[in-house]
Chains A and B, each alone.
Chain A
Amino acid sequence: QKEVEQDPGPLSVPEGAIVSLNCTYSNSAFQYFMWYRQYSRKGPELLMYTYSSGNKEDGRFTAQVDKSSKYISLCIRDSQPSDSATYLCAMSGATGAGSYQLTFGKGTKLSVIP
């Protein structure tokens, strides 16, 4: 079992739709939870960050973390064609060496059709 599981899609939705993306994980040491967006042939860029369990909202985006279920999600409201990208969940927690490297899901490719 991989540490982080994410449905790779692809996911295709009409403009204006609500999109829900999610990941599950197995490592209880993860404390920090992130969503990165990656456009084609570009590096990932941070979209949302959440510490421990809870919700966080930023404009059209809402991130949720449920540590008891080891489940995180990202909701995109009123989706736009510019949201078309690959969305990667990422997690980190202290390793023995004090490093906080990121463990990523495989990414979900989203296409928003005008």
Chain B
Amino acid sequence: DSGVTQTPKHLITATGQRVTLRCSPRSGDLSVYWYQQSLDQGLQFLIQYYNGEERAKGNILERFSAQQFPDLHSELNLSSLELGDSALYFCASSVTSGGYNEQFFGPGTRLTVL
């Protein structure tokens, strides 16, 4: 158990809908990262937050957004869902943002868009 929790574990929804994925980082970790894992693209970085502020953006679609709250949990919002958004979404956390910090991954949320 990494100490990172993600809810829900599974999500099944229809095209055009909006969903929210939630992540609670390990106690003491200030940095939260979101990744998307699909069969064709592998594991890809979406966005990072550090202590409530957006720190870096990767291959995140405009239909997707995220935020980190004062208690450091984070939410990833996916809207106008398409079939191609079906994937595993992982959250990871680390103590800080600079240099090397081990990122601990949560168990993931499996999103299926029908």
Contacts and interface: CB of A to CB of B under 8 A. Distances in A.
B48 A99 contact: yes
A42 interface: yes
Interface string A96-112: 01111111111100000
B54 to A, nearest CB: 9
A102 B100 contact: no
Given A32-B100, A100-B98, A44 B42 contact: no
A30 to B, nearest CB: 11
Interface stretch (A11-19, A45-53, A54-62, A67-75): A45-53
A36 to B, nearest CB: 8
Contact of B99 (A36, A100, A101): A100
A99 B2 contact: no
A49 B81 CA distance: 36
A94 B45 CA distance: 14
Contacts of A114: none
A44 B103 CA distance: 10
B108 A107 contact: no
Contacts of A51: 100
B105 A97 contact: no
Interface size classification for chain A: 20 to 34
A43 interface: yes
Contact of A43 (B42, B44, B97, B108): B108
A32 B107 CA distance: 24
B107 A43 contact: yes
16 contacts: A42-B107, A42-B108, A45-B105, A46-B103, A49-B102, A95-B56, A97-B56, A98-B55, A100-B98, A100-B100, A101-B56, A102-B33, A102-B103, A104-B42, A106-B42, A107-B43
Interface of B: 2, 4, 33, 35, 42-45, 48, 50, 55-56, 58, 90, 92, 97-108
Interface of A: 31-32, 36, 42-46, 49, 51, 88, 92, 94-95, 97-107
